[in-house]
């Protein structure tokens, strides 16, 4: 039997994870990336237990752990007086409750490990895909340099502005979510040790801490073996901001947006050196991801708000699941429909809960966080149980 050939459009976390999983299962795979250099922008990345299960199945968890951190507790603090809204153990309970660790890492470290799963000859850079289309029993990708490359299946892992999605379902604008954000990092010794009324709340630099306010939230956690503190600094805004992770910003912009917030938090933020600002966009859930031998994964299928910290995790789930289906079925089109049937409802539910969590965070006072237990418990590396 001829070996199946799969094309992956996009060499981000989702594209490389899908390609790596396919390669490990003996499927011929090639990745096409429009950028001329392979790299990953951004800073910290939260990897819930559902994501770590995928990394473990790919043989990467043990390699990542020295580069990552494992937060001890998860805390929620009020934006103004820093009183404790919630504290729960994380490190001590994650494996028992969810079947895997909760890790935080630098996005570039995860990206590099995923890249190592794919043979160098299978990654093609400077390849701008213009469109994809059905071709006989398979599919074909058309590139800006005139190449037309056929395959048994194509996976569009090319992000929120996916060319593959547009080829399948037509153009549609992304939705500005009324949230802008900065990504930044500070040395771990900048973390305040006591906050709250009378210094009543002790902070451990190895904790995951969320400062929640009606006009934004600041999420903090350790990365790089616990030596660096990653900051996601969110702000509610009606003003449109470019959807980019590489738009330079300033400390003055951050402090102006968070005027009146807790003094200990502002003191920590004052140590920020380099920061980037971007507008956060998502899309309404799609009713389908697949047409024939072409499907979507990750942000191409379901871009979501970061309020559940599940964008990368659900993408990793998609990537492993699509590889599992393609490797295990004789007919790629049947495999892709089965992949869609397994993944679409779950991704939609996470997308919509992320939107709801954003709205809840803006309430005064905000209600308790929506449960993520059902998200963390999931294991995309296993065949779903028959219903």
Which active-site residues does the annotation give? Answer: 221
Chain length of the chain: 387
CA-CA distance, 279 to 240, in Å (whole number)?
Answer: 7
Three-state secondary structure call for residue 30: strand
Distance CA 116, CA 58 (A): 11
Instruction: List the 247-248 sheet strands across, edge first.
Output: 84-89, 73-78, 208-213, 216-223, 228-236, 175-187, 276-282, 247-248
- Return the SS3 of 195: strand
Radius of gyration of the chain from Cα atoms?
21
Q: Is 11 exposed, middle or buried (0-12, 13-18, 19+ CB in 10 A)?
A: buried
Residue 269: C-alpha distances to residues 6, 168, 177, 200, 230 (Å): 45, 44, 24, 21, 11
* Residue of 113, 121, 144 lying closest to 131 (CA atoms): 144
* H helix count then E strand count, the chain: 11, 20
Percentages of the chain per state (helix, strand, coil), in multiples of 5:
35, 30, 40
């Amino acid at each position: 039997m001829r070996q199946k050939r799969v094309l992956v459009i996009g060499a981000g976390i989702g594209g490389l994870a899908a390609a790596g999983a396919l390669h490990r299962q003996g499927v011929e795979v090639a990745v096409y990336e429009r950028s001329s250099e392979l790299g990953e922008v951004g800073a910290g990345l939260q990897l819930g237990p559902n994501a770590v299960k995928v990394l473990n199945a790919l043989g990467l968890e043990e390699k990542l752990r020295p580069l990552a951190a494992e937060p001890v507790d998860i805390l929620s603090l009020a934006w103004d007086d820093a009183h404790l809204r919630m504290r729960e153990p994380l490190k001590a309970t994650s494996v028992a409750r969810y079947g895997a660790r909760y890790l935080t890492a630098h996005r570039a470290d995860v990206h590099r490990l995923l890249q190592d799963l794919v043979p160098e000859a299978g990654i093609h850079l400077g390849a701008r895909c213009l469109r994809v289309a059905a071709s006989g029993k398979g599919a074909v990708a058309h590139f800006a340099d005139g190449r037309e490359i056929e395959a048994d299946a194509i996976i569009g892992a090319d992000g929120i502005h996916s060319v593959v999605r547009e080829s399948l379902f037509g153009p549609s604008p992304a939705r500005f979510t009324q949230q802008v954000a900065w990504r930044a990092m500070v040395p771990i010794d900048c973390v305040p040790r006591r906050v709250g009324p009378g210094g009543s709340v002790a902070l451990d630099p190895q904790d995951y801490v969320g400062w929640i306010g009606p006009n934004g939230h600041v999420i903090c956690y350790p990365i790089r073996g616990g030596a660096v503190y990653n900051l996601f600094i969110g702000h509610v805004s009606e003003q449109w901001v470019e959807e980019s992770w590489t738009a330079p910003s300033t400390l003055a912009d951050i402090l102006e947006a968070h005027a009146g917030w807790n003094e200990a938090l502002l003191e920590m933020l004052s140590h920020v050196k380099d920061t980037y600002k971007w507008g956060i966009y998502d899309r309404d859930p799609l009713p389908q991801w697949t047409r024939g031998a072409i499907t979507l994964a990750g942000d191409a299928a379901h871009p979501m708000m970061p309020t559940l910290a599940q964008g990368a995790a659900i993408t990793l789930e998609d990537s492993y699941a699509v590889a599992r289906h393609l490797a295990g079925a004789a007919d790629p089109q049947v495999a892709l429909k089965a992949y869609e049937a397994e993944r679409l409802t779950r991704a939609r539910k996470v997308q919509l809960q992320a939107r709801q969590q954003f709205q809840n965070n803006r309430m005064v006072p905000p209600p308790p966080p929506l449960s993520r237990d059902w998200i963390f418990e999931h294991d995309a590396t296993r065949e779903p149980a028959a219903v």
